[in-house]
C-alpha cells in the first residue's frame, strides 16, 4: 500500500493540501496559500532540520591513570566522599558533609587530571569573604560567625569534565512582517509570511560539567564561570596545601547535560541572526555534533558546610574569581527575642495613641498621634520583613565579586 504524504501548514500547523482550483497549496483551516514550488522548498528544509541526529562519540583526551607515590586518598564514612591529598596532609573533616569520620583509603582507578586552574584566593581571602557574607545578618546563629568555625573552611580542587566538539547546524523559522494603513474610513492590515533558513557550524571548547554527585549542580553553576586564561597543565605542585576530590559522576553520565548546553547555545546563536520581522517562531532545529573529545580537570573551590539543627548549610566560593553562594539559617531564639521586643513596642504605641486621644490639647494630641503612627509603621515594616525571612528555613544568597 502506498504511503500517504501529510503536509502541515507553515502558519497554523493544520493539514495543507493542493487546491486544484487555485493550483496552489491551500490550508483549509486558516486559508494560507503557497506556491507549490515554494512549499516544496519549505518542506525539504523542514525535513532536513528534523532529520534524526547521530549520537556524538566523545573520545577521551590524554587521560591516564594517576600513579603517584606521593598521594593518598581519604574517604568519608558518612557521605562516601573521596578526596585525594598529599601523604603529609591530615584532614579531620569532610568538606562536603562536615562529618569528622574521615578514614584512609587505597588509591585505585583514579584518573590523572589533564588540566588545573590554580587557587588565586588564599584561605585568608576566603575567610574575609565569608565574614563579609555573614555581616549585617542579625538573625544568623552566633556559631556561624565564630572564628574557630570560619577557620575550618577548606580549599578543594573539584573535578570537572571539559568537552570539545564541532557542530553542523540547520534551523527553519516561520516569520511574519505586518504593515497597516488607512484609506478613507477603512483600516487595512497586511501580513506577509516568510520561511527563513539558517545553517552554519560552530566550535565548542572545554564546556565544563562538574563530576560530583554530592555537589549541587545549581551551586556549581552559580559560582561559574572560571577564567580559562589560568588553565594550565596539571602538576602535583598545585595540590600542596589543598584537597582534591575524586569524581563520582563519569564523563559519559554528564553527556546529556552537555548536549543540552550545546543545543541551547546553537539555538540562541542562530536565532539572533533572524532579524527585521514582526514575529519569528522556530519550526525545526537540527544540531549534529562530531569530533567530540573529553578532558579531565581540577577547579579551585572554597567550601564550608555547617550543621545546624537537622539541616546542612553550605558556603561555596570560586577559588579563582571570588564568586560565592551560600545558605543561611535563622536563629529561632534571636527571632523570638526580637519578635517579643517588637510586640511590646507595638503595644506601647497603641497605649500612647489611646492616651493622646484623651488629651485636651489638640496640638499635643496631634504630635503624639503622628509619633505613634510613625513608630507603628516602622514596627509593622520590621514584622513584614521578619515574617518573610521566618517562612524560609534557608536564606540563599549569591554574591559576585
What local confidence, expressed as pLDDT, does residue 99 receive?
A: 63
Burial class for 276, CB neighbours closer than 10 Å (0-12, 13-18, 19+):
exposed
Check residue 167 and give its pLDDT: 94
Q: What's the CA gap between 196 and 173, in Å, rounded?
A: 5
Would you put residue 23 in left (φ > 0), alpha (ψ -120 to 50) or beta? Answer: left
Specify the 3-state DSSP secondary structure of 208: strand
Q: What is the model's pLDDT at position 36?
A: 80
Which pLDDT belongs to residue 385?
A: 47
User: What's residue 62's pLDDT?
Assistant: 60
> Contact at 8 Å (CB) between 212 and 94?
no
pLDDT of residue 353: 60
Q: What is the pLDDT of residue 144?
A: 72
Alpha helices for 312-399 (secondary structure H) = 332-358, 362-390
For the chain, domain boundaries: 58-164+204-258+294-327, 333-399
- Nearest partner of 244 among 317, 305, 161, 300, judged by Cα: 300
pLDDT of the residue at 306: 74
314, three cell numbers: 553550605
Instruction: Give 183's strand partners.
Output: 186
Low-confidence ranges of the chain (pLDDT < 70): 1-6, 48-75, 77-109, 137, 139, 328-401
Q: Under 8 Å CB-to-CB from 253, ≥6 apart: which residues?
A: none
Model-level pTM greater than 0.85?
no
Measured between alpha carbons, how far is 166 from 202 in angstroms, rounded to an integer? 6
Specify which residues 194 forms β-bridges with. 175
Of 117, 157, 205, 147, the C-alpha closest to 303 is 157
Contacts of residues 228-231 at CB distance under 8 Å and 24 or more positions apart, as own/partner, are: 228/117, 230/117, 230/118, 230/120, 230/320, 231/115, 231/116, 231/117, 231/206, 231/297
Please give the C-alpha separations between residue 75 and each of 99, 245, 300, in angstroms, as whole numbers: 11, 10, 20
Spell out the residues 6+ positions from residue 11 whose beta carbon is closer than 8 angstroms to its own.
27, 30, 32, 174, 193
Amino acid at each position: 500500500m502506498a504511503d500517504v504524504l501529510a503536509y502541515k501548514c507553515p502558519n497554523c500547523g493544520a493539514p495543507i493540501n493542493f487546491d486544484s482550483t487555485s493550483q496552489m497549496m491551500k490550508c483549509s483551516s486558516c486559508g494560507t496559500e503557497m506556491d507549490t514550488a515554494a512549499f516544496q522548498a519549505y518542506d525539504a528544509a523542514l525535513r532536513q532540520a528534523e532529520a534524526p541526529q547521530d549520537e556524538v562519540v566523545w573520545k577521551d583526551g590524554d587521560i591516564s591513570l594517576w600513579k603517584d607515590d606521593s598521594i593518598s586518598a581519604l574517604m568519608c564514612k558518612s557521605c562516601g566522599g573521596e578526596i585525594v591529598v598529599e601523604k603529609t596532609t591530615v584532614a579531620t573533616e569532610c568538606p562536603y558533609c562536615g562529618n569528622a569520620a574521615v578514614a584512609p583509603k587505597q588509591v585505585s582507578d583514579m584518573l590523572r587530571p589533564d588540566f588545573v586552574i590554580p587557587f588565586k584566593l588564599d584561605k585568608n581571602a576566603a575567610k574575609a569573604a565569608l565574614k563579609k557574607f555573614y555581616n549585617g545578618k542579625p538573625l544568623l546563629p552566633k556559631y556561624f560567625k565564630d572564628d574557630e568555625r570560619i577557620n575550618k573552611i577548606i580549599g578543594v580542587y573539584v573535578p570537572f569534565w571539559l568537552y570539545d566538539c564541532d557542530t553542523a547546524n540547520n534551523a527553519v523559522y516561520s516569520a511574519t512582517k505586518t504593515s497597516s494603513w488607512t484609506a478613507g474610513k477603512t483600516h487595512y492590515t497586511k501580513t506577509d509570511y516568510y520561511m527563513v533558513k539558517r545553517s552554519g557550524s560552530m566550535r565548542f571548547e572545554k564546556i565544563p560539567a562538574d563530576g560530583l554527585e554530592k555537589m549541587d549542580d545549581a551551586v556549581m553553576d552559580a559560582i561559574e564561570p572560571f577564567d580559562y586564561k589560568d588553565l594550565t597543565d596539571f602538576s602535583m605542585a598545585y595540590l600542596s596545601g589543598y584537597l582534591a576530590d575524586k569524581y563520582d559522576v563519569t564523563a559519559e553520565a554528564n553527556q546529556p547535560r552537555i548536549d543540552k548546553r550545546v543545543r541551547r547555545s546553537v539555538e540562541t546563536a542562530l536565532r539572533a541572526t533572524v532579524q527585521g520581522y514582526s514575529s519569528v517562531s522556530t519550526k525545526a532545529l537540527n544540531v549534529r555534533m562530531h569530533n567530540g573529545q573529553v578532558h579531565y580537570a581540577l577547579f579551585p573551590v572554597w567550601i564550608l558546610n555547617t550543621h545546624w539543627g537537622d539541616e546542612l548549610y553550605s558556603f561555596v566560593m570560586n577559588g579563582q574569581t571570588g564568586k560565592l553562594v551560600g545558605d543561611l539559617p535563622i536563629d529561632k531564639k534571636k527571632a523570638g527575642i526580637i519578635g517579643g521586643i517588637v510586640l511590646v513596642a507595638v503595644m506601647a504605641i497603641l497605649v500612647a495613641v489611646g492616651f493622646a486621644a484623651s488629651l485636651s490639647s489638640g496640638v499635643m494630641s496631634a504630635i503624639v498621634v503622628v509619633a505613634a503612627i510613625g513608630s507603628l509603621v516602622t514596627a509593622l515594616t520590621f514584622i513584614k520583613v521578619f515574617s518573610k525571612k521566618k517562612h524560609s528555613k534557608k536564606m540563599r544568597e549569591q554574591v559576585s565579586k
